[in-house]
Copies of this chain bind each other. A is one copy, B any other.
């Protein structure tokens, strides 16, 4: 297995490596290489099946044509789809993507950033974890193009693109109120990232706007670190006990699925006994009986927008500082009309 290099081609063509390089990089004209020679080289390269060594190229140019994508968990529905969109988009522009999962673990996230840096990726799409500001700031300070997705840091000047968490929840709650519900519960997670905070704000503000008092007994916060069983227990306890809830909004897809399990266990009738809405759509919600109303994130749009911003920044070399809050879409199904 002898991978052939530019040198081999040069030799076979009886020219210098520089000439070959120029031709193969489309700089033939600029470097006034004669047309005949250029054609000859192109043909030879194709014929021999020449493929440039990306490492060498990257070393020399500092560009690897590789992007780093850091998500919370690649096997998660939302992030898996996001990764898919980004991969497809990247392919269009001839970029490869290095994915990695943080598990929402800051230390791991830091390591991943380091690793991507070592590999000299040209740009980053990151779902940040708590406490990652400094690292991201460093990245930006170093001139690396970065786009945050799903969450961001309010005090950091970065590009970000995510669903409009506040408005999505605000509108959904308002809609529920419009349907006559007043005792509306929420189940959330104790991550202090801005996306969750905004969802909570959306909830509170919607109640306020509808002149419904906020009652903390109607809010259940599940520790992120809780085991599956513990979380299930907490959700079940919430649904069953305490003040009556006419409707419950689960603020993440994961929580919504836990909620479904509880329904089954508690034999709660949805929507008769309680309306049910989850953030983030999922096949499960569509297929469940009753089907579940969900607030779908515009995954494709998020991925595409993030890529557009990133590639633009890579190309131009200029900091952009684009902020995109994309509208969510409430997919109304049987569990809450």
Contacts and interface: CB of A to CB of B under 8 A. Distances in A.
Interface in A105-134: 114-115, 117-120
Contacts of A51: 114, 117-118
A11 to B, nearest CB: 20
A261 B283 CA distance: 10
A108 B52 CA distance: 20
A257 B53 contact: no
Contact of A257 (B83, B100, B283, B288): B283
Interface stretch (A25-33, A55-63, A210-218, A313-321): A55-63
A273 to B, nearest CB: 16
Contact of A289 (B99, B142, B289): B289
Nearest to A299: B75
A6 interface: no
Contacts of A76: 80
In the A-B complex, the 10 residue pairs with the smallest Cβ-Cβ separation, listed nearest first, are: A75-B84, A75-B80, A1-B142, A80-B80, A55-B59, A55-B58, A75-B81, A284-B284, A54-B118, A55-B55
Interface in A63-107: 64, 66, 73-77, 80-81, 83-84, 87, 96-101
Nearest to A85: B75
